Amino acid sequence: MANWLELSQKINEKPLFATLTRHQLEAVIDILCLMMYADNRVSTLEEIEFRETLLRLPWLENQAPLVDGRVNVAASKARYAVTSEDRQVLADSAGHHLSEEHTAETVFELAVTMAHSDLVFHEREKDVLHVLAGALGIAPGRAEELAGRSPA
């Protein structure tokens, strides 16, 4: 199962993240927040670890205001996205900025890793992954393949 260190390492190993625009970085944070809140069981410690994980990444370490601001906004929206429609709106908004196939697939794999980071895979997390795959333009079969390849 994945943990916060593995998630950080996986993100850090992807050179494409260093070249993302501000809007794309915000979209990645939005997606990861949506995934984090999918199971509706987020502790304060998890929120702190998530923020610290993002700030340890070389391409975000000097961008605390961006990370803090976006995590606050995205977490608030994700926390209250209780219906499929709410989650779809958030996923579509983020997916719009991550339309390149390689980027979309990489972000989806990160979401899969995030879903497994607490060692329990909830039905709502599965639903959010389905929504994310659609929003990122990933075909259902390809999403299943990517989810199966993830180190989760």
Nearest to 32 by CA among 60, 144, 62, 139: 60
Tokens 């060692």 sit at which residue?
Answer: 119
Given this model, what pLDDT does residue 106 score? 86
The CA angle 51-65-129, to the nearest 5 degrees, is 40
Confidence (pLDDT) at 70: 92
Predicted pLDDT at 87: 93
End-to-end CA distance of the chain: 5
pLDDT for 118 equals 67
pLDDT per residue, tens digit, the chain (152 aa), is 345 666 667 666 767 777 888 899 899 999 999 998 887 777 788 888 888 888 887 777 778 898 899 999 999 999 988 888 999 999 999 999 998 877 899 889 888 888 877 667 778 888 999 999 999 999 999 999 988 765 44
pTM for this one?
Answer: 0.85
